[in-house]
């Protein structure tokens, strides 16, 4: 079982400061997982790179994991306040997940949000749609539509995502929309023929910013483009400069075994109370973690019970809000480190 990557979607506001929109499947993010020191350390360093982060697979019934995560994020990164916007628990069985937006409240605000009305039960986790402001005269607001598909129904859910786009466009009279998340859109979950037949592929106006064949996993034995960013809207697409992956295990110098540890139960390591304690150690970005990164257990229906989930790489796209940049083309562009030193 894979654990999809962080996505970094970068927008250049006013042609100067980058505005980053990210998405990350956090692999069954529970309070117990967040309370592990090295998990928290990695999560806050990922979150601190983003102005808006869309977390997927938040499965915290206590309601304490995200406030704890934000508390430590604010301590780690003092550049400004953060806030969050959370969907209700979503799922067809006792297994439920939430979509959670974490954002810098001094740089953006949520204008509106709603849970898509999935009358025909096409989605295992219907999209939790949100509209955010952007510090841009070219594109003052943008709609985000996250989706985490279930592997057994990828094609059906991705085709239904087009209906979500139509619903969003009619509701808010906006064509500038970004669809993003763990689509499971490759390998065994969706072959190339069915991928090419998706409505979001055949309908004009949608740009798949992450190239087919781009590896969005970190497992050495896996090479799949599970995670995607799809843009719609002339203003949005005209500002797109590049799209790429961000390999956070490589950047944070995590071994494959440490990354694999995100999917294990019962891994030893320091933890702390969500009420009083703080992290006792905050390694520098170049430091080497010595303990694995634990994760909550279980599996969603259709998943593999007991297998260790794997995180993946990030993908990035740059939108220049001041001057339209050259198109990234149908395959997207690898983002050079030089254009974004914080990555």
Q: What is the pLDDT of residues 10-54, one digit of tens each?
A: 555 555 567 788 888 888 899 999 998 888 998 999 899 888 999
Q: What is the pLDDT of residues 213-251, one digit of tens each?
A: 888 887 778 888 888 989 999 888 877 766 667 777 888
Which CATH number is 302's domain given?
3.60.10.10
Q: What is the pLDDT at residue 19?
A: 78
Q: Could you tell me if 72 and 44 are in contact, meaning their C-beta atoms sit under 8 angstroms apart?
A: yes
Q: What is the pLDDT at residue 280?
A: 27
Q: What is the mean pLDDT of residues 298-310?
A: 40
Strands 141-146 and 177-182: parallel
Summary mean pLDDT of the chain: 76
Note the pTM of the prediction, 2 decimals.
0.80
The Cβ of residue 111 has, within 10 Å, a number of other Cβ atoms equal to 14
- Compute the 3-state secondary structure of the chain and give helix, strand, coil in percent, each to the nearest 5: 25, 25, 50
Q: What is the mean pLDDT of residues 58-75?
A: 95
Confidence of residue 159 (pLDDT cuts 50, 70, 90): very high
pLDDT over threshold 90, residue 99 = yes
SS3 142: strand
Half-sphere exposure of 177 (CA within 13 A, CB side): 24
Confidence of residue 2 (pLDDT cuts 50, 70, 90): low
SS3 11: strand
Q: What is the mean pLDDT of residues 308-336?
A: 38
How many domains are contained in the chain? 1
Rounded-to-integer distance, Cα 262 and Cα 24, Å = 14
What burial letters (b/e) apply to 285-299, b meaning 16+ CB within 10 Å? eeeebeebbbbbbee
The residues annotated as belonging to the active site are 97, 148
Q: What are the strands, taking DSSP E only, across 216-301?
A: 227-232, 240-246
Rounded-to-integer distance, Cα 58 and Cα 65, Å = 9
Q: Could you tell me if 315 and 227 are in contact, meaning their C-beta atoms sit under 8 angstroms apart?
A: yes
Range of the structural domain that residue 189 is part of: 5-339
Q: What is the mean pLDDT of residues 143-172?
A: 97
Q: What is the pLDDT at residue 205?
A: 95
Q: What is the mean pLDDT of residues 126-131?
A: 98
pLDDT over threshold 80, residue 56 = yes
Question: Which of 19-23, 83-87, 257-261 shows the lowest per-residue confidence on average (mean pLDDT)?
Answer: 257-261
Smallest CA-to-CA distance from 316 within 216, 234, 224 is with: 216
Of residues 341 and 47, which shows the higher confidence score? Answer: 47
Residue 158 makes CB contacts below 8 A (sequence gap 6+) with 147, 149, 183, 185, 190, 198, 199, 200
Rounded-to-integer distance, Cα 85 and Cα 88, Å = 10
| Dihedral angle sign, alpha carbons of residues 221, 156, 228, 102 | negative
Token couple for 271: 């933890």
Q: What is the pLDDT at residue 333?
A: 27
């Amino acid at each position: 079982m894979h654990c999809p990557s962080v996505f970094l979607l970068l927008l250049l506001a006013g042609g100067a400061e980058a505005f980053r929109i990210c998405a990350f499947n956090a692999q069954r993010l529970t309070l117990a997982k967040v309370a592990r020191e090295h998990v928290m350390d990695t999560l806050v360093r990922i979150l601190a790179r983003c102005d808006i982060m869309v977390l997927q697979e938040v499965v915290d019934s206590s309601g304490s994991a995200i406030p704890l995560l934000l508390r430590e994020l604010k301590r780690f990164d003092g550049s400004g306040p953060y806030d969050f916007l959370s969907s209700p628990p979503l799922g067809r069985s006792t297994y439920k997940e939430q979509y959670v937006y974490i954002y810098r409240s001094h740089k953006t605000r949520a204008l509106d949000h709603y849970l898509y009305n999935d009358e025909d039960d096409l989605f295992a986790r219907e999209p939790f749609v949100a509209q955010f402001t952007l510090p841009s005269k070219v594109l003052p607001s943008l709609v985000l539509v996250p989706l985490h598909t279930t592997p057994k129904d990828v094609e059906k859910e991705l085709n239904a995502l087009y209906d979500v786009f139509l619903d969003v466009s009619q509701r808010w009279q906006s064509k500038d929309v970004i669809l993003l998340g763990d689509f499971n859109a490759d390998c065994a979950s969706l072959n190339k023929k069915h991928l090419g037949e998706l409505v979001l592929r055949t309908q004009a106006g949608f740009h798949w910013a992450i190239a087919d064949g781009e590896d969005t996993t970190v497992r050495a034995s896996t090479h799949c483009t599970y995670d995607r960013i799809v843009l719609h809207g002339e203003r949005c697409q005209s500002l797109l400069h590049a799209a790429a992956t961000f390999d956070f295990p490589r950047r944070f110098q995590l071994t494959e075994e440490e990354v694999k540890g995100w999917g294990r139960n019962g891994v030893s390591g320091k933890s702390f109370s969500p009420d009083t304690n703080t992290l006792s150690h905050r390694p520098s970005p170049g430091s080497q973690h010595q303990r694995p990164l634990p994760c909550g257990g279980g599996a969603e229906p259709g998943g593999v019970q007991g297998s260790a989930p794997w995180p993946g790489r990030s993908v990035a796209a740059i939108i220049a809000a001041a001057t339209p940049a050259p198109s990234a083309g149908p395959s997207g562009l690898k983002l050079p480190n030089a254009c974004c030193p914080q990555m």
